[in-house]
Structure 1
Protein backbone atom coordinates (compact mmCIF):
# COMPACT_ATOMS: atom_id res chain seq x y z
CA UNK A 1 0.00 0.00 0.00
CA UNK A 2 2.85 2.32 0.90
CA UNK A 3 4.53 1.72 -2.49
CA UNK A 4 1.28 2.35 -4.33
CA UNK A 5 0.87 5.73 -2.61
CA UNK A 6 4.50 6.69 -3.26
CA UNK A 7 4.09 5.75 -6.94
CA UNK A 8 0.89 7.80 -7.16
CA UNK A 9 2.60 10.82 -5.57
CA UNK A 10 5.57 10.56 -7.95
CA UNK A 11 3.23 10.19 -10.95
CA UNK A 12 1.20 13.22 -9.81
CA UNK A 13 4.38 15.27 -9.36
CA UNK A 14 5.68 14.34 -12.80
CA UNK A 15 2.31 15.14 -14.37
CA UNK A 16 2.32 18.56 -12.66
CA UNK A 17 5.85 19.29 -13.89
CA UNK A 18 4.98 18.22 -17.43
CA UNK A 19 1.86 20.43 -17.39
CA UNK A 20 3.87 23.41 -16.13
CA UNK A 21 6.44 22.92 -18.89
CA UNK A 22 3.69 22.81 -21.50
CA UNK A 23 2.10 25.99 -20.17
CA UNK A 24 5.45 27.79 -20.14
CA UNK A 25 6.20 26.81 -23.73
CA UNK A 26 2.70 27.74 -24.86
CA UNK A 27 3.10 31.36 -23.71
CA UNK A 28 2.76 34.37 -25.97
CA UNK A 29 4.76 34.30 -29.19
CA UNK A 30 7.85 36.48 -29.35
CA UNK A 31 8.03 39.37 -31.80
CA UNK A 32 10.51 37.42 -33.91
CA UNK A 33 7.93 34.67 -34.47
CA UNK A 34 5.75 37.06 -36.48
CA UNK A 35 8.46 38.10 -38.92
CA UNK A 36 7.75 36.82 -42.46
CA UNK A 37 11.37 36.39 -43.63
CA UNK A 38 10.95 38.94 -46.43
CA UNK A 39 14.55 40.18 -46.11
CA UNK A 40 15.94 36.83 -47.22
CA UNK A 41 18.30 34.26 -45.80
CA UNK A 42 21.05 35.36 -43.45
CA UNK A 43 19.02 38.17 -41.89
CA UNK A 44 18.47 37.78 -38.15
CA UNK A 45 15.70 39.46 -36.19
CA UNK A 46 16.80 42.62 -34.33
CA UNK A 47 13.66 44.52 -33.33
CA UNK A 48 9.93 44.92 -33.96
CA UNK A 49 7.51 47.77 -33.34
CA UNK A 50 3.74 47.35 -33.48
CA UNK A 51 1.87 50.11 -35.32
CA UNK A 52 -1.45 51.48 -34.01
CA UNK A 53 -3.72 54.20 -35.42
CA UNK A 54 -3.64 57.16 -33.01
CA UNK A 55 -7.38 57.96 -33.17
CA UNK A 56 -8.82 54.55 -32.26
CA UNK A 57 -5.72 52.56 -31.25
CA UNK A 58 -6.47 49.80 -33.75
CA UNK A 59 -3.53 47.58 -34.67
CA UNK A 60 -2.53 47.93 -38.35
CA UNK A 61 0.79 46.10 -38.56
CA UNK A 62 4.34 45.63 -37.33
CA UNK A 63 7.64 46.94 -38.64
CA UNK A 64 10.59 44.57 -38.34
CA UNK A 65 14.30 45.30 -38.39
CA UNK A 66 16.83 42.58 -39.24
CA UNK A 67 20.61 42.43 -39.70
CA UNK A 68 22.95 40.27 -41.75
CA UNK A 69 26.30 39.88 -39.99
CA UNK A 70 28.05 38.44 -43.01
CA UNK A 71 27.41 41.44 -45.28
CA UNK A 72 26.75 44.28 -42.76
CA UNK A 73 23.32 45.19 -44.11
CA UNK A 74 20.21 46.04 -42.12
CA UNK A 75 16.79 45.31 -43.59
CA UNK A 76 13.32 46.56 -42.65
CA UNK A 77 9.76 45.65 -43.62
CA UNK A 78 6.25 46.62 -42.56
CA UNK A 79 3.94 43.62 -42.25
CA UNK A 80 0.30 44.67 -42.41
CA UNK A 81 -2.51 43.24 -40.35
CA UNK A 82 -4.88 41.35 -42.69
CA UNK A 83 -7.54 43.73 -43.97
CA UNK A 84 -10.16 43.68 -46.74
CA UNK A 85 -8.76 46.98 -48.03
CA UNK A 86 -5.31 48.06 -49.14
CA UNK A 87 -3.42 50.59 -47.03
CA UNK A 88 -0.79 53.15 -47.93
CA UNK A 89 2.41 51.83 -46.37
CA UNK A 90 5.95 53.13 -46.26
CA UNK A 91 9.19 51.81 -44.77
CA UNK A 92 12.48 53.76 -44.89
CA UNK A 93 15.95 52.78 -43.75
CA UNK A 94 19.22 54.76 -43.91
CA UNK A 95 22.46 55.26 -42.06
CA UNK A 96 22.34 57.76 -39.19
CA UNK A 97 23.84 60.50 -41.36
CA UNK A 98 21.04 60.07 -43.93
CA UNK A 99 23.17 58.31 -46.54
CA UNK A 100 22.39 54.91 -48.00
CA UNK A 101 18.66 55.62 -47.93
CA UNK A 102 16.29 52.95 -49.25
CA UNK A 103 12.50 53.15 -49.15
CA UNK A 104 9.43 51.38 -50.36
CA UNK A 105 5.97 52.88 -50.42
CA UNK A 106 2.61 52.31 -52.01
CA UNK A 107 -0.77 50.68 -51.52
CA UNK A 108 -0.25 47.17 -50.18
CA UNK A 109 -2.28 44.35 -48.64
CA UNK A 110 0.45 42.31 -46.96
CA UNK A 111 3.74 44.18 -46.54
CA UNK A 112 5.95 47.08 -47.63
CA UNK A 113 9.63 46.48 -48.22
CA UNK A 114 12.06 44.98 -47.86
CA UNK A 115 14.48 47.91 -47.80
CA UNK A 116 18.21 47.63 -47.12
CA UNK A 117 21.13 49.80 -46.02
CA UNK A 118 24.73 49.00 -45.26
CA UNK A 119 25.30 49.98 -41.63
CA UNK A 120 28.19 48.06 -40.14
CA UNK A 121 29.63 50.02 -37.19
CA UNK A 122 27.16 52.89 -37.59
CA UNK A 123 23.70 53.97 -36.43
CA UNK A 124 20.57 53.77 -38.55
CA UNK A 125 17.41 55.80 -39.11
CA UNK A 126 14.29 53.61 -39.36
CA UNK A 127 10.75 54.73 -40.09
CA UNK A 128 7.43 53.14 -40.92
CA UNK A 129 4.00 54.52 -41.83
CA UNK A 130 0.58 52.92 -42.38
CA UNK A 131 -2.48 54.99 -43.30
CA UNK A 132 -5.28 55.48 -45.78
CA UNK A 133 -3.20 57.78 -48.04
CA UNK A 134 0.39 58.98 -48.22
CA UNK A 135 -0.40 62.16 -46.25
CA UNK A 136 -2.89 60.71 -43.74
CA UNK A 137 -2.55 62.75 -40.53
CA UNK A 138 -4.21 59.94 -38.56
CA UNK A 139 -1.74 57.30 -39.75
CA UNK A 140 0.26 54.92 -37.60
CA UNK A 141 3.89 55.92 -37.73
CA UNK A 142 7.26 55.46 -36.10
CA UNK A 143 10.38 57.54 -36.80
CA UNK A 144 13.59 56.48 -35.08
CA UNK A 145 16.85 58.35 -35.63
CA UNK A 146 20.35 57.16 -34.77
CA UNK A 147 19.28 53.82 -33.33
CA UNK A 148 20.81 50.33 -33.27
CA UNK A 149 24.32 51.70 -33.38
CA UNK A 150 26.85 49.00 -33.95
Structure 2
Protein backbone atom coordinates (compact mmCIF):
# COMPACT_ATOMS: atom_id res chain seq x y z
CA UNK A 1 0.00 0.00 0.00
CA UNK A 2 2.80 2.44 0.88
CA UNK A 3 5.71 2.90 -1.47
CA UNK A 4 9.14 1.75 -0.46
CA UNK A 5 11.82 4.39 -0.30
CA UNK A 6 13.72 4.47 -3.59
CA UNK A 7 17.06 5.47 -2.06
CA UNK A 8 17.19 2.81 0.67
CA UNK A 9 20.75 3.75 1.65
CA UNK A 10 19.34 7.04 2.98
CA UNK A 11 16.55 5.44 5.02
CA UNK A 12 16.77 5.74 8.78
CA UNK A 13 15.91 2.95 11.20
CA UNK A 14 12.46 3.16 12.76
CA UNK A 15 13.92 4.04 16.19
CA UNK A 16 15.89 6.94 14.69
CA UNK A 17 12.75 8.18 12.97
CA UNK A 18 10.81 8.04 16.25
CA UNK A 19 13.59 9.97 18.00
CA UNK A 20 13.37 12.63 15.28
CA UNK A 21 9.61 12.92 15.83
CA UNK A 22 10.22 13.30 19.57
CA UNK A 23 12.78 16.11 19.02
CA UNK A 24 11.31 18.06 16.12
CA UNK A 25 9.25 21.06 17.20
CA UNK A 26 6.83 21.33 14.31
CA UNK A 27 5.73 19.61 11.14
CA UNK A 28 3.49 20.17 8.15
CA UNK A 29 0.19 18.31 8.22
CA UNK A 30 -1.29 17.46 4.80
CA UNK A 31 -5.03 16.91 4.47
CA UNK A 32 -7.59 16.67 1.70
CA UNK A 33 -9.13 20.14 1.74
CA UNK A 34 -12.11 21.81 0.14
CA UNK A 35 -12.86 21.05 -3.48
CA UNK A 36 -10.33 18.20 -3.55
CA UNK A 37 -7.39 20.58 -3.12
CA UNK A 38 -4.55 19.59 -0.81
CA UNK A 39 -4.51 21.56 2.43
CA UNK A 40 -1.29 21.65 4.41
CA UNK A 41 -0.53 23.58 7.56
CA UNK A 42 2.26 23.79 10.11
CA UNK A 43 1.45 22.22 13.47
CA UNK A 44 3.07 21.63 16.82
CA UNK A 45 2.73 17.96 17.69
CA UNK A 46 3.79 15.25 20.10
CA UNK A 47 4.65 11.62 19.35
CA UNK A 48 3.62 9.00 21.90
CA UNK A 49 2.92 5.26 21.58
CA UNK A 50 2.79 5.20 17.76
CA UNK A 51 0.44 8.18 17.68
CA UNK A 52 0.79 11.85 16.87
CA UNK A 53 -1.19 14.35 18.95
CA UNK A 54 -1.96 17.96 18.07
CA UNK A 55 -4.59 20.50 19.04
CA UNK A 56 -6.59 23.31 17.52
CA UNK A 57 -9.83 25.24 17.49
CA UNK A 58 -13.16 23.52 17.92
CA UNK A 59 -14.12 24.28 14.32
CA UNK A 60 -12.45 25.20 11.08
CA UNK A 61 -10.83 23.90 7.91
CA UNK A 62 -8.56 21.38 9.70
CA UNK A 63 -11.42 19.75 11.65
CA UNK A 64 -13.70 19.69 8.61
CA UNK A 65 -11.00 18.07 6.46
CA UNK A 66 -10.24 15.36 9.05
CA UNK A 67 -13.92 14.51 9.46
CA UNK A 68 -14.36 14.31 5.68
CA UNK A 69 -11.21 12.27 4.97
CA UNK A 70 -9.15 10.90 7.87
CA UNK A 71 -6.13 9.84 5.76
CA UNK A 72 -3.34 12.35 6.42
CA UNK A 73 0.40 12.74 6.27
CA UNK A 74 2.80 14.71 8.42
CA UNK A 75 6.26 15.74 7.28
CA UNK A 76 9.03 17.04 9.52
CA UNK A 77 12.47 18.42 8.78
CA UNK A 78 14.99 18.16 11.57
CA UNK A 79 18.04 19.31 9.65
CA UNK A 80 18.52 21.23 6.41
CA UNK A 81 21.93 22.62 5.60
CA UNK A 82 22.56 23.89 2.08
CA UNK A 83 25.99 23.18 0.62
CA UNK A 84 26.02 25.73 -2.21
CA UNK A 85 29.49 24.84 -3.49
CA UNK A 86 28.46 21.18 -3.80
CA UNK A 87 24.95 21.85 -5.15
CA UNK A 88 23.62 19.62 -2.39
CA UNK A 89 22.09 19.63 1.09
CA UNK A 90 22.59 17.79 4.35
CA UNK A 91 19.19 16.87 5.76
CA UNK A 92 17.16 14.67 8.09
CA UNK A 93 13.44 14.39 7.53
CA UNK A 94 10.52 12.07 8.15
CA UNK A 95 7.10 11.43 6.71
CA UNK A 96 4.25 9.85 8.66
CA UNK A 97 1.09 8.42 7.13
CA UNK A 98 -1.98 7.55 9.14
CA UNK A 99 -5.59 8.14 9.97
CA UNK A 100 -6.56 11.16 12.03
CA UNK A 101 -9.53 11.56 14.29
CA UNK A 102 -10.89 14.25 16.54
CA UNK A 103 -10.85 12.99 20.12
CA UNK A 104 -14.18 13.28 21.90
CA UNK A 105 -13.67 11.64 25.28
CA UNK A 106 -12.29 14.03 27.93
CA UNK A 107 -9.69 11.50 29.11
CA UNK A 108 -8.39 10.98 25.57
CA UNK A 109 -8.14 14.75 25.13
CA UNK A 110 -6.25 15.04 28.44
CA UNK A 111 -3.77 12.39 27.36
CA UNK A 112 -3.14 14.14 24.04
CA UNK A 113 -2.70 17.54 25.70
CA UNK A 114 -0.48 16.02 28.37
CA UNK A 115 1.79 14.60 25.64
CA UNK A 116 2.08 18.12 24.21
CA UNK A 117 2.87 19.61 27.65
CA UNK A 118 5.50 16.90 28.24
CA UNK A 119 7.19 17.76 24.94
CA UNK A 120 7.04 21.56 24.98
CA UNK A 121 6.76 22.51 28.67
CA UNK A 122 8.06 19.55 30.67
CA UNK A 123 9.41 21.77 33.44
CA UNK A 124 5.87 23.06 34.09
CA UNK A 125 3.92 19.81 34.42
CA UNK A 126 1.88 20.82 37.47
CA UNK A 127 0.73 24.14 36.07
CA UNK A 128 0.34 22.46 32.66
CA UNK A 129 -2.14 19.98 34.09
CA UNK A 130 -4.14 22.84 35.61
CA UNK A 131 -4.04 24.60 32.24
CA UNK A 132 -5.36 21.45 30.54
CA UNK A 133 -8.35 21.29 32.89
CA UNK A 134 -9.25 24.94 32.15
CA UNK A 135 -8.84 24.54 28.39
CA UNK A 136 -10.30 21.05 27.94
CA UNK A 137 -13.81 22.09 26.88
CA UNK A 138 -12.62 24.87 24.58
CA UNK A 139 -9.97 23.02 22.56
CA UNK A 140 -10.07 20.17 20.09
CA UNK A 141 -7.41 17.48 20.27
CA UNK A 142 -6.62 15.27 17.34
CA UNK A 143 -4.73 12.01 17.07
CA UNK A 144 -3.05 10.35 14.13
CA UNK A 145 -2.76 6.58 14.40
CA UNK A 146 0.47 5.94 12.49
CA UNK A 147 0.19 3.35 9.72
CA UNK A 148 3.54 3.96 8.02
CA UNK A 149 6.54 6.21 8.54
CA UNK A 150 9.95 6.69 7.02
CA UNK A 151 12.93 8.76 7.98
CA UNK A 152 15.59 9.84 5.55
CA UNK A 153 19.03 11.36 5.88
CA UNK A 154 21.28 12.89 3.29
CA UNK A 155 24.88 13.11 4.51
Whether TM-score is above 0.5 comes out as no
Q: Which gives a bigger RCO, structure 1 or 2 (Cα 8 Å, sep 6+)? A: 2
TM-score normalised by structure 2 residue count = 0.28
TM-score normalised by structure 1 residue count = 0.29
**Which is helix-richer, 1 or 2?**
2
